[in-house]
Amino acid sequence: MQTLISKLRYILCFVIISAFFLPSYQDISGFTFIPLAFSSTDDQSEISTADVFIATIPLILIPVSSIAILVRTYMRRQLRQTFKALPLICLAVFTILLFLSLRTIAGGGMSSLRILSHLREGFYITAIASMLLPFTKSPYRRKVKRVQEQKAEAA
The 3-class secondary structure across the chain, one letter per residue, is: CHHHHHCHHHHHHHHHHHHCCCEEECCEEHHHHHHHHHHCCCCCCCCCHHHHHHHHHHHHHHHHHHHHHHHHHHCCCCCCHHHHCHHHHHHHHHHHHHHHHHHHHCCCCCCHHHHHHHECHHHHHHHHHHHHHHHCCCCCHHHHHHHHHHHHHHC
**What is the per-residue pLDDT for 80?**
82
Task: Inform me whether the pLDDT recorded for 123 exceeds 60.
Answer: yes
Task: Inform me whether the pLDDT recorded for 116 exceeds 60.
Answer: yes
**What is the per-residue pLDDT for 7?**
84
Phi, psi dihedral angles at 43 (to 5 degrees): -70, -25
pTM given for the model? 0.77
Task: Inform me whether the pLDDT recorded for 131 exceeds 90.
Answer: yes
